[in-house]
Structure 1
Amino acid sequence: MTSSAPWWREAVIYQIYPRSWADADGDGVGDLPGITARLPYLADLGVDAVWLSPFYVSPQADAGYDVADYRDIDPVFGALSDADALIARAHELGLRVIVDLVPNHTSDEHAWFRAALAAGPGSPERDRYIFRDGSGDEPPNNWSSVFGGSAWTRVTDSDGSPGQWYLHLFDVKQPDLNWENPQVRSEFEDILRFWLDRGVDGFRVDVAHGLVKAQGLPDWSGPMNMLDLPDPTQRPPMWDQDGVHEIYRSWRAILDSYNPPSAADHDPSRDRAMCAEAWVDPPERLARYVRPDEFHQAFNFDYLNAPWQADSLRATITASLAADDAVGAPTTWVLSNHDVVRHVSRLGLPVGTPRPNGIGAEDTQPDQEVGARRARAATTIMLALPGGAYIYQGEELGLPEHTALPDEVRQDPTFARTAGAELGRDGCRIPMAWEKDSPAYGFNDTGNTWLPQPAEFADLAADQQVGVTDSSLELYRTLLTTRRDRGIGSGTLSWVDAGADVLSFTVRGATGEQTTLLANLSAEPVNVPPGHQVLVDSDPAGDGARVAPDTAVWLRRTS
């Protein structure tokens, strides 16, 4: 049965990291024609949409999140015609297309920043960015970069003397834009229309909580990640400032204009949607981003960070649903993406281990068996929750983090800016595994890869899992089909008391059917409740009567 809810309220969206999805020309870097050729795989998987990480013109200092031209495709990925072909093919297959938008900063090779350097202090060109005078040889304030080191870099004036400083909350090649400048706001509104006119179905907005900075740029010595704040009421001056919401209200109006909600022929299936990457806490602050006239979705990073404990998961789910329900928004669940250690590996670390920024050969290694089992259960929990969900490429195959990358191949700017103290995100960005016995496991036909693939990818390749009943891939297919058939995404949740270290809830779906999730996070098996039948079991060896440790099942009532 198909739900009548707007598609974005319950969609399962698959993230494609273009550099690592499929490489049609064999140069070792994924591209748009490669993505287009593999789209039928996603239609068969059963997702509703794809989200593409940046493919814009870029010097690739931060893997495309340093944009030099927002209206064109970097040659390494193809051309605008390839983007048009991808969008058309996705729509033929019933898949929507979400593209990344990077509004907090540009590349230092963007025409605007080059003009700012040439124009000098006090110019309109510099006012598009955040240039400030320092104090002697000291930067304007003590802000740190998310990638390590100072958030300020000093430029050299045309006469060779030291000049002003510019802000870059990320890499030195990613200067922050000044969102108090009307030209910046107008430019991005035009960029939105450019891609909407080409047929995209929405945007994932990078660093959505960072566009507006506190007046005066006051010093800040606390954590840069808001989820690490000991006191969430003390917001860092570079994050989650109230002024961002005015920007997003103007964007929402633009998206709504392509399918006016007030029009007699409004069709919720044609809505254009936005998802916020906003690392914001507590949940009530995050919910401000998904008020009815702002974003449609916002990633739930509290859920991603929740430890593998029933009480912690229940508390996070409860708080998230309550905050989002208060503003009439769906909650958007996620376990992995291109910025975090894959959850197959993360869940193989001892419970309570802080989420690492990369794992290296000298670090404590995840227990692969435990991680794989918990990952299957974690996904079974996530896809039973009402709302939307995002899947990161390869997680449906159970791909682990690459935990033994040689230092010389690492490309994440975090690794260089921290002198190796932080390994960074390369380990979760490894090219996909499609075919066990092909060059580069089917990523291309030359064997070239921009990052090396680990040997364990071979047996996890897609062609080793298609049609294999107990494979990770087939579990995902079953979960997605069952989720849709039972209307779980648009359902309502009620908690079930199932005992210590057991997570259980029932969702009444849009179909009227009830689906009960039971996840056993204890050390001993638990019995399936009387009068229930197992619909889906994350454990390939499940017997339908008991739920093994680190296993989750979906149940339906039989009596």
Structure 2
Amino acid sequence: MTHESTAVQLASASSNAAASTGWWRDAVIYQVYVRSFADSDGDGVGDLRGVRERLPHLARLGVDAVWLTPFYVSPQADGGYDVADYRAVDPLFGDLSDADDLVRAAHALGLRIIVDVVPNHTSEQHAWFRAALAGDPRARERYHFHPGRGPGGAQPPNDWESVFGGPAWTRVEDGSWYLHLFAPEQPDLDWEHPEVAAEFASVLRFWLDLGVDGFRVDVAHGMVKAPGLPDIGRGAQATLIGAQPLPFFDQDGVHAIHRSWRRLLDSYEGPRIGVAEAWVPTSERLARYVRPDELHQAFNFRFLNCPWDAVALRTVIDESLAATASVGAPTTWVLSNHDVVRHRTRYGSLARARAAALLMLALPGSAYVYQGEELGLPEVADLPAEARRDPAFLRTAGQDGLRDGCRVPLPWTGDRPPYGFGPGGAWLPQPADWGGLSVAAQTGDPHSTLELYRAALELRRALPGLGSPDAGPLAWLPAPEGVLLFTRPGFACTLNSRATAVELPAPGRPVLSSAPVDTDGRTVLQPPDSCTWWAI
């Protein structure tokens, strides 16, 4: 079976009558971690010009949009998520003209651009926070400064812990404490102050006027804190995020902010979209972020965190679709990003990673692809301690502290580091055996993971029953234990999560599979840890 010829035939047969009402509803969005994508100037760090030069790879891959991680002026205490100036490009990544060139080049290739916005906190080097430390009372009101508890106020105002480990409070010279749910270099803003809301509305307009197509909202669940900042009463609080209610995350007040942003986005031609990074306890809570008057999408972290188990996968899929359907929004699907262990490593094999990718891309809604997953990259787990940059690695009891392992710069060509990443080295060391995983090495190899993704995205455009949440319902059919079988109009998907092959009735004609399938037209021997797409 030739992927390309099959896709072309299907595309010519498709009327595309089921076109979605909004481009984001079934878009495949590719996440670029800018510092690790491509380096144009040889300093070992990826930059905006490097991204622009590699846009043809993304166009050929077949994605619809590109999400860029922060490239703003920043001391880089947390990979750019500590922003000192929201309207300027950090010299590490280029300048404002590079951002403008990138947006224009992407649009010329039919790609949309989504940029990060970081509204929960600023950098400690932001002009507002510098003024606050200098004693400006008006500047202090924009952050959470509070007196301490106990004799002399020597204890933090409450028992909240940083996501990165340690207390969420740092004491300053005058004895007061400021809140930082992440690193101390990332003081939390107080969104009760009207100047905070006004400033971010201005920031959004600045980038919308430059031509970006939307925003990924970092910590979209965190801008509002419970009144009185109550204690939680236990430690290891990072393990509770997304699992149970917390007084500093997913407070109802965040939704007024998102509604105001939706009105701003809707005032521009486009449409322009907002995407919530929201860690919440249930699918129903997540659906609140994508109600008709709020943001357009929210990351589905329950799917990302789901184990390689057919029952668990079906449960998460059903709950996710039901929750978003209740508010008329599309579901999003994601397997990896810059904050989690790559799914090839999480699932334990490349075979499972390939199968999971086809499952994800077959589901109704929008899918996110993290840079390098199309190459089948594994997590780099053996980085030397002196090379690591993740602030969680430097603090105890926080996140796993191993986020650097999924941020190692991409291999583009050649058989030795830096594999065409740039004319110099790479800011994190690349494994010596990545030559066979490079874009150049995999291009044209019909068995490669890169060509599997290219074929899948081409078919996704061609088959009306693939991707679009508006093409018809997903229907589950009876299947053996460990197997998922569902249909959509004109399409079927079979997933075998077992370690052994399973014989099934062939639901149609195979058009793409993560592993070779053997079928006589009536039955199919579905290989272990594999996923197959069928035209019916």
TM-score band w.r.t. shorter chain: over 0.9
For residues 209 and 456 of structure 1, the distance between their equivalents in structure 2, rounded to whole angstroms, comes to 40
Q: Which amino acid aligns with 2:480?
A: G
Instruction: Output one character per residue of 1:439-468: Cα deviation in whole Å (capped at 9) or x when no partner.
Output: 50000122x111000123211000001111
Q: Does 1:224 align with 2:203?
A: no
**Bigger shift: 2-11 or 130-139?**
2-11
For residues 67 and 147 of structure 2, the distance between their equivalents in structure 1, rounded to whole angstroms, comes to 39
Q: Which amino acid aligns with 1:450?
A: W
Q: Which amino acid aligns with 2:512?
A: V
Q: Does 1:460 align with 2:441?
A: no
Q: Does 1:125 align with 2:139?
A: yes
For residues 148 and 20 of structure 2, the distance between their equivalents in structure 1, rounded to whole angstroms, comes to 56
> 1:412-451 residue pairs with structure 2 within 5 A?
412-418=390-396, 422-437=400-415, 439-446=417-424, 448-451=425-428
- The offset of 1:425, in angstroms, is 0.4
> 1:19-418 residue pairs with structure 2 within 5 A?
19-119=35-135, 123-135=137-149, 136-157=153-174, 163-222=175-234, 223-226=237-240, 229=243, 232=244, 235-259=245-269, 270-348=270-348, 371-418=349-396
2:291–2:327 CA contact under 8 A, matched in 1 = yes
- The offset of 1:211, in angstroms, is 0.4
- The offset of 1:524, in angstroms, is 2.6
Q: Which runs of 4 or more aligned residues in structure 1 lie more than 6 Å from their structure 2 counterparts after TM superposition?
A: none
Instruction: Output one character per residue of 1:399-457: Cα deviation in whole Å (capped at 9) or x when no partner.
Output: 111011011111100011118994330000000000023650000122x1110001232
Q: Which amino acid aligns with 2:215?
A: F
Q: From 472, 480, 485, give the equivalent of 1:499.
A: 480
Q: Which amino acid aligns with 1:543?
A: D
For residues 225 and 207 of structure 1, the distance between their equivalents in structure 2, rounded to whole angstroms, comes to 16
1:57–1:73 CA contact under 8 A, matched in 2 = yes
Q: 1:149 to 1:24 in 2, by over 3 A?
A: same
2:342–2:379 CA contact under 8 A, matched in 1 = yes
Instruction: Output one character per residue of 1:496-519: Cα deviation in whole Å (capped at 9) or x when no partner.
Output: 1112110111122xxxxx211100
1:385–1:507 CA contact under 8 A, matched in 2 = no
Q: Does 1:483 align with 2:460?
A: yes
Instruction: Output one character per residue of 1:56-111: Cα deviation in whole Å (capped at 9) or x when no partner.
Output: 00000001000000000000000000000000000000000000000000000000
2:169–2:177 CA contact under 8 A, matched in 1 = yes
Q: Which amino acid aligns with 2:278?
A: A
Structure 1, unpaired ranges of 5+ = 158-162, 260-269, 349-370, 509-513
Q: 1:156 to 1:333 in 2, by over 3 A?
A: same
For residues 274 and 26 of structure 2, the distance between their equivalents in structure 1, rounded to whole angstroms, comes to 14
1:99–1:204 CA contact under 8 A, matched in 2 = yes
Q: Which amino acid aligns with 1:202?
A: G
Instruction: Output one character per residue of 1:511-530: Cα deviation in whole Å (capped at 9) or x when no partner.
Output: xxx21110001233123424
Aligned to 1:470: 447
**Root-mean-square deviation (Å):** 1.4
For residues 124 and 227 of structure 1, the distance between their equivalents in structure 2, rounded to whole angstroms, comes to 32
For residues 57 and 267 of structure 2, the distance between their equivalents in structure 1, rounded to whole angstroms, comes to 32
For residues 419 and 315 of structure 1, the distance between their equivalents in structure 2, rounded to whole angstroms, comes to 31
- The offset of 1:119, in angstroms, is 2.0
1:100–1:205 CA contact under 8 A, matched in 2 = yes
Q: 1:4 to 1:299 in 2, by over 3 A?
A: closer
Q: Which amino acid aligns with 2:141?
A: D
Three-state SS of the structure 2 residue aligned to 1:128 is coil
**Bigger shift: 432-441 or 175-184?**
432-441
Q: 1:93 to 1:228 in 2, by over 3 A?
A: closer
Structure 2, unpaired ranges of 5+ = 1-14
Q: Which amino acid aligns with 2:224?
A: V
Q: Which amino acid aligns with 2:164?
A: F
For residues 389 and 78 of structure 1, the distance between their equivalents in structure 2, rounded to whole angstroms, comes to 29
Instruction: Output one character per residue of 1:183-208: Cα deviation in whole Å (capped at 9) or x when no partner.
Output: 00000011010000000000000000
Aligned to 2:535: 556
2:390–2:403 CA contact under 8 A, matched in 1 = yes
Instruction: Output one character per residue of 1:330-352: Cα deviation in whole Å (capped at 9) or x when no partner.
Output: 0000000000000011101xxxx
1:436–1:458 CA contact under 8 A, matched in 2 = yes
2:32–2:69 CA contact under 8 A, matched in 1 = yes
Q: Percent identity?
A: 60
Aligned to 2:493: 517
For residues 242 and 46 of structure 2, the distance between their equivalents in structure 1, rounded to whole angstroms, comes to 34
For residues 115 and 522 of structure 1, the distance between their equivalents in structure 2, rounded to whole angstroms, comes to 59
- The offset of 1:279, in angstroms, is 0.6
- The offset of 1:398, in angstroms, is 0.2
For residues 422 and 299 of structure 1, the distance between their equivalents in structure 2, rounded to whole angstroms, comes to 20
2:163–2:399 CA contact under 8 A, matched in 1 = no
Three-state SS of the structure 1 residue aligned to 2:181 is coil
Instruction: Output one character per residue of 1:454-502: Cα deviation in whole Å (capped at 9) or x when no partner.
Output: 1232110000011110100000011111111112121331111112110
For residues 53 and 435 of structure 2, the distance between their equivalents in structure 1, rounded to whole angstroms, comes to 21
Q: 1:419 to 1:455 in 2, by over 3 A?
A: farther
For residues 212 and 422 of structure 1, the distance between their equivalents in structure 2, rounded to whole angstroms, comes to 25
Instruction: Output one character per residue of 1:97-140: Cα deviation in whole Å (capped at 9) or x when no partner.
Output: 000000000000000000111125xx111000000000121010
Three-state SS of the structure 1 residue aligned to 2:265 is helix
Q: Which amino acid aligns with 1:125?
A: A
1:536–1:554 CA contact under 8 A, matched in 2 = yes
- The offset of 1:226, in angstroms, is 4.7
Q: Which amino acid aligns with 1:224?
A: A
- The offset of 1:227, in angstroms, is 5.4
